[in-house]
Structure 1
Amino acid sequence: MINDDLTHTPSTDQTTPAVATPDDRRPLGSTGLLASPVTVGTSGLGTPASADGSPAAGSTAFATAALRGPNLLVDTSNAYSDGRSETAIGDAIRQGGLPEGRGVVTKADQDPSTAVFDRDRVLRSFEESLERLGVERIPVFHLHDPYSVSFEDASAPGGAIEGMLALKEQGLVDAIGIAAGAISVMLPYVRTGVFDVLLTHNRFTLVDRSATGLLEEARSRGMGVFNAAPFGGGLLAGRRGRDGKPATYAYQAGSPELLAWVDRADELATRHGIPLAAAALAFSTRSELVDSTVVGMNRPERLEQVEALRTTLIPDDFWSDLEALGTPPSTITD
């Protein structure tokens, strides 16, 4: 699961926004597809469920705004919010259509009951996503979090990779990707040479650079790169502990050393006249290793706020001053 960084209770505003014109379109590796610097992440969209099991009130309104906002792509998954994320996006498409040039990226997930993740499950997951989204094909389709299956099984006849390749060969998807967190899990899939796109999360941020080698490997193969969770779950966007709970980074409690480092980085950003969140986002969007940065949101105003962060001018000397703070003590060990 990719962490949503800027999520709150969805708005109930039903106004349909005009379609914005993205001002920075860039190639997604060598796929022939285009992406914006930011891709809208929707892992929390649709939660909590309504009484009838449908997505939370306001979810479709947000999905409509996301599909018509300043970003070309919206990222979701078969498993996000037990399918309600895809359902909300599909409802938005059914009500207002999919604007030209926009796309929905989704992911194959293991069987929620049995944890089976083979060829047949990939194909079923794809069919479930098409039904929820109300579309006939997907531009980018990821193999998502293949933790319940070994790489050997996934790459064997009848395995998950075979299912991914079948979808591409049938022309049902333009590009296939691998999306997960642990680098040791991702690397073997990247090295197969069969995937077109990579999605990593929480491992290429202001406080964790551990995915650098993985991204370089992907780039050497012409793969497109999505980098998700640039705020590490909110810590780098100014979200600290609530109700006495410790602040977290990438689903884990932040160590005192990490929190102290972030405080120093925040003070540095203030001296340079910028929000730390703007620097955290720019770290990813300015990198030559990244095509698009996935930021989790579920309120229309977050689209505007993230765009404001993206267009914030970061002084060049901020980066050298940041490096002078030393190596960040990340909580991630893989």
Structure 2
Amino acid sequence: MTDGPPPRATRTRALPRRPAVRLTELGFGGSQGGNLYRATTDEEFAEAVDAAWAAGIRYYDTAPHYGLGLSERRLGAALRARPRDGYVVSTKVGRLLVPSPEQARRRDPEGFDVPATHRRVWDFSRDGVRRSVQESLDRTGLDRLDVVYLHDPDEHWEQAATEAVPALVELREQGVVRAVGVGMNQSAMPARFVRETDVDVVMCAGRYTLLEQGALADLLPAAQERGVGVVVAGVYNSGLLSRERPPDDAVYDYRQAPPELIDRVRRIAAVCETYGVTLPQAALAFVRSHPAVVSTVVGLRGPGQVTETLRRADVDVPTELWSALRTAGLLDAPPPD
């Protein structure tokens, strides 16, 4: 008797241009560790990392933006006792954290339940990138960063392309960073980064999901052509796809979802149920089917969310579902064969 295939959480895919950097198919998103929307305790976050590690997840994503550095500090502490060559950590540059003691009694205005002890300052300059990387190393306690993404450079193309990417490439050549990337909530500009700069990986949030597939028109074909890996984030579109049936107050792209979109998702869910799978299970299966996708990052707050996400990710979804959704006009395009 032979053992079955390993759980999807433990399977790894290499970045095509940096094959030494291998990401587990399911990645641990650290935004919740920065107290996104509500507080998470140190213990709860550490338990989430422990549960993810025990399940075989070895890719962990964070950013200075998440809780004004709280997520980076917590993630570094949770991983400190693990063998450094046994996991991959990604973080981001573009927002420097500048002390603002005069605001410390207020809460962070950007959605994280933390004191506003710092303010974020956009900076994609060479010096800003190098400073951000060093500060991330200090907060995490790591000796190197496996992947560093430019974080939301939507309004900063020129400086990001001509200063930030070359600065990260220098750090890659020095061994401080192992892979260079860009992370955004759109697909058009990341496709431009893929075509015009020396990036190894793109994190695309919300633009390639079971609900919308805009990245099929630009980012995904460009990534395949140039050998750039794609990490999908926002797979649930801010929560709209995260339940078996979305409630009336479901969130989409960080805002209240419009009724027509909720109705569309409920119709998608009904088709999924006829094939014996739930909406969240189908959402995870759909994105990982594309050959350019190397990992799917899901924000995880505690061990319960880790367990549930692992269960969802390990379900085999019949390929006939995609054709049924397309026939019903609920899917713009099927995943590639």
TM range (shorter): 0.7 to 0.9
Please name the residue that 2:28 is paired with.
40
Query: Following the alignment from structure 2 to structure 1, what is the Cα–Cα distance between the partners of residues 95 and 274?
Result: 47
Structure 1, unaligned stretches of length 5 or more? Answer: 1-19, 330-334
**Aligned residues of 1:48 and 1:56 also touching (Cα < 8 A):** no
Q: Deviations over 1:213-264 (max 9, x none)?
A: 21110121111110111111111121745xxx73222223323222111111
Identical columns (%) = 32
1:288 alignment partner, SS class: coil
**Aligned residues of 2:59 and 2:88 also touching (Cα < 8 A):** yes
2:31 alignment partner, SS class: coil
By how many angstroms is 1:170 displaced?
1.2
2:92 alignment partner, SS class: strand
Please name the residue that 1:198 is paired with.
202
- Deviation larger for 266-275 or 170-179: 266-275
What one-letter code is carried by the residue in structure 2 that aligns with 1:291?
Answer: V
**Aligned residues of 1:39 and 1:293 also touching (Cα < 8 A):** yes
Query: Following the alignment from structure 2 to structure 1, what is the Cα–Cα distance between the partners of residues 8 and 223?
Result: 29
**Aligned residues of 1:67 and 1:74 also touching (Cα < 8 A):** no
By how many angstroms is 1:195 displaced?
0.5
Please name the residue that 2:231 is paired with.
226
Residue 285 of structure 1 pairs with residue 292 of structure 2 = no
**Aligned residues of 2:90 and 2:147 also touching (Cα < 8 A):** yes
By how many angstroms is 1:57 displaced?
4.4
Q: 1:48 to 1:255 in 2, by over 3 A?
A: closer
Please name the residue that 2:267 is paired with.
264
Query: Following the alignment from structure 1 to structure 2, what is the Cα–Cα distance between the partners of residues 258 and 123?
Result: 42
Please name the residue that 1:187 is paired with.
191
By how many angstroms is 1:327 displaced?
4.4
Q: 1:247 to 1:23 in 2, by over 3 A?
A: closer
Please name the residue that 2:48 is paired with.
62
- Which of 60, 67, 89 matches 1:104? 89
By how many angstroms is 1:22 displaced?
5.3
Q: CA RMSD in A?
A: 2.5
- Higher RCO (CA 8 Å, separation ≥ 6 residues): 1
Please name the residue that 2:135 is paired with.
128
**Aligned residues of 2:8 and 2:26 also touching (Cα < 8 A):** no
Q: Where is the strand percentage greater, Structure 1 or Structure 2?
A: 2
Task: Report how many aligned residue pairs link the two structures.
Answer: 301
**TM score, norm. by length of structure 2:** 0.82
What one-letter code is carried by the residue in structure 2 that aligns with 1:130?
Answer: L
Q: 1:132 to 1:259 in 2, by over 3 A?
A: same
Query: Following the alignment from structure 2 to structure 1, what is the Cα–Cα distance between the partners of residues 41 and 266?
Result: 37
**Aligned residues of 2:9 and 2:26 also touching (Cα < 8 A):** no
Please name the residue that 1:168 is paired with.
172
Give 1:15-164 correspondences, 5 Å limit.
Answer: 23-32=10-19, 33-47=21-35, 56-94=42-80, 96-98=81-83, 100-112=85-97, 113=119, 114-149=121-156, 151-156=157-162, 159-164=163-168
